[in-house]
Amino acid sequence: MTTVRLTCSCGKSWEHPEGASIPSDLRSICPVCSLPTPAPFDPLSIFGGPGSSKAPTLVAPPPVAPPRPYSGSGTYVQLPEEAARSAAESVSAAPGKIVAGFEILEELNRGGMGVIYKARQVAMNRTVALKAIIPAKLEKPGVRERFMAEVKASALLNHPNIVMVYHTDLVGEFPYLAMEYVPGIDLLRLVRSTGPLPVTDAVYYIRQAADGLQHAHEQGLVHRDIKPSNLMVSPGPIGSEGLKAGKLPRVKILDMGLARVISPNGEDSETGLTQEGMFLGTPDYVSPEQAENSRNADGRSDIFSLGGALYFLLTGEVPFPGKTLVEKIRKALTEPPPSPMAKRKDVPPLLDSIVRKMLACDPEDRYQHAGEVVTALDRILRGEGGPVSSGPPIMADPEPLAPLAQVKAHDGGIRGMALTDDGQILVTAGEDSRVRLWQPSKLQEIRTFLGDFGAVDGMVLSPNGKRFATCATRLTTSEMGVQLWDMATGAEQRRLRGPAANVRCVAISQDSKAIAAGADDSMVWMWIADASGPKTFCMKGHSGSVTALWFVSPDSLLSAGADGTVRQWDLRAGKCKATLPAGVGPITALAFGGKRVAVAGESLAVRNPTGTFAKFTGHSGNVLSVAFSPDGRLLASGGSDRTVRVWSTENGEEVVSYTGHAHPVRSVTFSPDGRSLFSAGGDGTLLRWAVPVI
């Protein structure tokens, strides 16, 4: 009997007789998770026809132990008080239950907006925070659509100081969010349990939050509910051992972009005030212009709120106290910004002026960009403005030259390497026709996939981590193209054909609706997901092989080629918008860092926000690989000289150089937190390095 393969979103696949009707109620089909609704639509699923029906061999997959129950003192997010909790009673899942591919481990918090669980995503075996939201909160016309749009926009953010959004969908009528799980304690609870923080600690934490906000603002997102309880501190040792391991405490901004839609107008989680006002935000930290009309809030409103959070960390008090919402806002409008120096003597005058500038009533009188706050607070951390109380040091060992971990990963060169968004799985693809999954910190092998990968030239992960795409050197036209593989099983799902030449690079858009491939025929090939089916077209502009691709956005693509140019494509029109001669000879690698574009070839060059290319000099041979750190402040490069180098993107100076490879370095990538750097060599060696803090 001929069968078709059905796959649940939990990762379980099973055979179903072809031609037999598939029950409309899929809950009885999946033998693992009893999924209450069909698997959510994935745009990648509509590309092309089935690929090879032969599933690859799974080599010695060791058992993966489930995550241990969380025993720390932290919680994920601050939710409304007990009086608002009855509304959430209808949203419930017992530990051990599997919902939409997520195994519930424990309940973390319950409030008027819904319930937050610690959960395990079965397919990826990763721990997440699963937030089930009460449908009534999204019943107002247009709010649900706005909510989904902003969640999708937030999911495009990738910064070490912002909690990542992995996935959103519906389970029955209940919307849910799968987010990065962050153990630790929020800054509200930290101050309430320990009192005001040492000056350097407070500055260190708020500086990180400002860095994350700058990234969000650059992507067009304004938080509008910055407050201490939305700033989570992950645990980490302070001192020499912590520095060497790169484990200083890290701040994560919670609910990035969600507060615009789902912040309640009723019970407030910190003050207990109940108002029917139309503004979004928390009264103790909301800016005057946002209190007047939430639509007036731009990035400077977040800076005001962040200034209020910094004032709270230093003093243990809110900046404009009052018994009512009206009184709080009146004080923010009529009284001068409060001085933290008046509350404690060890606050330097420079820091006092920084706080008061952040809390200025008029947005024009504040810092205009969060990056300016970062620069100002860096002056405090460097000791300018007077002595401060002790806290986390900001400078690590400037020469962490020895690799933290090393392994012979492949027989032959590694040509593709990528980390999942949560940093829990490292994927490598080699010339030995193998794809391997690794535990990143110790480089311990999780599993090996043996499939028809060929001698891989390029590999990329889908944004949701469920699939990866590869391209390889092939001997016949019928084999040329891009292959899509299941991340959980290693099974080939689709083969995208079109190019009559070997494909050298592949990329997937942030919304998973587009796949791009660069080929030896000088074409950029596109496969676009559409409701009516996949659309395929190609774009010509390069005069030689297309060797590197990068999606700037779902509608904009960068390509680089052997002709030494970088081209920017408008995917809606299918036309080249700009051609940029890079001046590095034939280009071997390309990376996009928000404001900058790095290109590698006979040398290394970075296109700055001004539009000019700056040469980064240090490698003694061709540069083969490049990657920006998550915050864009560092650039890593690997070369034929067998070195890995890290550069400051601000001034082009070399920060550190690593030597440990015996062959050219063909791939480099940073961990999501920016603290580790992975490099892969032409001999199949994989190394992990500590990244210095600058």
For residue 615, list its beta bridge partners: 605
Q: DSSP for 56-70, please give it.
A: PEEE-----PPPPPP
Q: Do 570 and 555 meet the contact criterion of CB atoms below 8 Å apart?
A: yes
Q: Do 168 and 148 meet the contact criterion of CB atoms below 8 Å apart?
A: yes
DSSP 239: S
DSSP 187: H
Q: DSSP for 105-139, please give it.
A: EEEEEEETTEEEEEEEETTTTEEEEEEEE-GGGG-
Edge to edge, what strands does the sheet with 665-670 contain? 405-408, 685-690, 676-681, 665-670
> Letter for the amino acid at 474?
R
DSSP 50: B
Tokens of 246: 């790169």
Q: What 3-state class would DSSP assign to 104? A: strand
Q: Do 661 and 681 meet the contact criterion of CB atoms below 8 Å apart?
A: yes
Q: Which pLDDT score is estimated for 165?
A: 82
pLDDT of 406-431, one tens digit each?
999 999 889 899 999 888 999 999 98
Q: Where are the domains of the chain?
A: 3-52, 183-394, 451-580
> Which of 74, 67, 123 lies closest to 95, judged by CA?
67
Which distant-in-sequence residues (6+ apart) come within 8 Å of 218 by Cβ?
594, 595
- Topology of domain 183-394, per CATH? Transferase(Phosphotransferase); domain 1 (1.10.510)
φ and ψ at 93, to 5 degrees?
-150, 130
- The reply to whether 225 belongs to the active site is yes
d(CA 46, CA 321): 55
Residue 42 parent element (H or E):
none
Segments of the chain with pLDDT less than 70: 1-94, 111-113, 137-138, 140, 142-143, 146-147, 149-150, 152-153, 171-174, 235-248, 256-281, 385-401, 475, 531, 693-694
d(CA 382, CA 378): 6
Q: Do 254 and 180 meet the contact criterion of CB atoms below 8 Å apart?
A: no
CA angle 88, 92, 95 (to 5 degrees): 140
pTM of the model: 0.50
Residue among 225, 255, 432, 486 flagged as catalytic: 225
pLDDT of 81-106, one tens digit each?
332 333 344 455 667 778 778 898 98
Q: Which pLDDT score is estimated for 429?
A: 94
Class of domain 451-580 as given by CATH: mainly beta
